């Protein structure tokens, strides 16, 4: 799917951190996408998140193709474990972005979880054949006769 989005000049920038679970889940959904872009509807806020290799952008339904907010410049190299938060830059393009940021981190996490639960991994199932050695002579237990 192709979506053309536009950006106004940025009106605010701030550095934040994102919980590792949110970042990791977003990247996992993006990696599953055949074209490397994940579309995450945040229905409770009427916002669409678009996740690509460089940034997460958020479109408000009121302004459809205009970026309201972008999370970019992820500092993944600064963390030493996958469960550590990820620092990023939040760039606001619309006046509504500041208000949206009050709810967006929590609602985005919930939307990612909901999408991940629905997302099927396509492909054939495989049965693994494991060769286990059978025990020839099992030792009887303390209450069993030999």
State the pLDDT at residue 120: 61
State the pLDDT at residue 140: 59
Confidence of residue 34 (pLDDT cuts 50, 70, 90): confident
State the pLDDT at residue 139: 58
State the pLDDT at residue 54: 95
State the pLDDT at residue 118: 84
Confidence of residue 137 (pLDDT cuts 50, 70, 90): low
What b/e string do you get for 3-42 counting C-beta neighbours within 10 Å, with b at 16 or more? Answer: eeeeeeeeeeeeeeebebebbbbbbebbeeeeeeebebeb
Residue 73: closest CA among 56, 59, 92, 60:
56
Choice between 47 and 33, residue whose per-residue pLDDT is larger: 47
For the chain, the average pLDDT equals 87
Confidence of residue 145 (pLDDT cuts 50, 70, 90): low
Choice between 134 and 37, residue whose per-residue pLDDT is larger: 37
Going by their DSSP bridges, the two strands 86-92 and 55-60 should be labelled as unpaired
- pLDDT value at 121 more than 70: no
pLDDT in tens, 3-23: 789 999 999 999 999 999 999
CA–centroid distance for 76 within its chain: 14
pLDDT in tens, 75-98: 999 899 999 999 999 999 999 999
State the pLDDT at residue 134: 64
């Amino acid at each position: 799917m192709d979506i053309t989005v536009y950006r106004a000049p940025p009106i605010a920038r701030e550095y934040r951190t994102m919980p590792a679970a949110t970042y990791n889940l977003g990247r996992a959904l993006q990696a599953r996408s055949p074209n490397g872009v994940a579309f995450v509807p945040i229905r409770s806020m009427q916002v669409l998140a678009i996740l690509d290799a460089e940034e997460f952008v958020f479109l408000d339904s009121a302004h459809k193709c205009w970026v309201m907010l972008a999370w970019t410049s992820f500092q993944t190299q600064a963390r030493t474990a996958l469960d550590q938060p990820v620092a990023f830059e939040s760039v606001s393009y619309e006046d509504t972005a500041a208000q949206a940021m009050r709810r967006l981190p929590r609602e985005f996490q919930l939307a990612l979880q909901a999408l991940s639960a629905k997302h099927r991994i396509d492909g054939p199932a495989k049965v693994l054949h494991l060769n286990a050695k059978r025990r020839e002579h099992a030792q009887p237990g303390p209450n069993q006769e030999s």
